[in-house]
Amino acid sequence: MFEMDAVIVAPRWMERELAEASDTLRTIYGLEVQVETINEDKGRYFIDQNRNQVNGIKLLGYLRVLKDTKLPTVWLTEFDLYINNFNFCFGLAYRNIAIVSLFRLRNQNEKVYISRLRKEISHEVGHLLGLKHCADDKCVMYFSNTIMDTDNKNEHPCSRCKLLLRRLSSGISTHRA
């Protein structure tokens, strides 16, 4: 759908997650994925000692400077994230950068864990490509308040969001031309 590249950056020990994340972006959005591994989880520098969680906004600000790119870029972190008034967030996206936290996706059942991961990746990249939240609770762009919302939704955007994506992608190719 999108004739462009996306970048996924993760600590090198997240091999399985990297493979699933790349496959998700290829399958759902038709993105060419560049995978980059790093030696540490950057979340560790932004832990709020009182909450024992990572300040998502601060981490995002840092990552923007660390890797200056125009491509949609997703960073994976092991740490639990929070922003402003929320107790936690599964991920966040701003302009071309997104962060997805694995922390609350973990499950003894590997299939459940991977399915959650794919949905959260798909959701945040949906934002990077221009989608907003969707009212359809089966759509990947539905806002997850709890992990149950994530388990309930699909990894794909609904037909309405797909249509929006097609418009956005044609807008991008016109712009590029």
Q: Where in the sequence numbering do the catalytic residues fall?
A: 124
60 counts as binding Zn ion under rule CB under 5 A: no
Tokens of 66: 């660390």
Residue 158 interacts with Zn ion (CB under 5 A): yes or no: yes
* Of 28-36, 75-83, 105-113, 150-158: span binding Zn ion (CB under 5 A): 150-158
Closest distance to Zn ion from the beta carbon of 135 (Å): 8
Q: Which helix (H) or strand (E) holds 117?
A: helix 110-128
| Interface pick for Zn ion out of 8, 10, 28, 141 (rule CB under 5 A) | 141
Alpha carbon separation from 112 to 30, 101, 134, 140, 149 (Å, rounded): 24, 15, 23, 16, 13
> Which is closer to Zn ion, CB of 105 or CB of 161?
161
Task: Kindly tell me which of 11 and 24 has the beta carbon lying closer to Zn ion.
Answer: 24
Asked if residue 161 binds Zn ion (CB under 5 A), the reply is yes
CB atoms inside a 10 Å sphere around CB 133: 13
Beta carbon nearer to Zn ion, 11 or 165:
165
Residues 6 or more apart in contact with residue 25 via CB below 8 angstroms: 6, 8, 31, 33, 74, 121, 122, 125
Q: List CB contacts of 128: < 8 A, sequence separation 6 or more.
A: 6, 72, 74, 93, 95, 96, 97, 98
Residue 81 binds Zn ion (CB under 5 A) = no
Q: Which stretch binds Zn ion (CB under 5 A): 31-39, 53-61, 108-116, 152-160?
A: 152-160
Q: Bridge partners of 6?
A: 33
Smallest separation, CB 160 to Zn ion (Å): 5
Q: Please provide the distance, in angstroms rounded to a whole number, between the alpha carbons at the two ends of the chain.
A: 16
Nearer to Zn ion, 31 or 125 (CB): 125
Contact residues toward Zn ion (CB under 5 A) are 134, 136, 139, 141, 158, 161
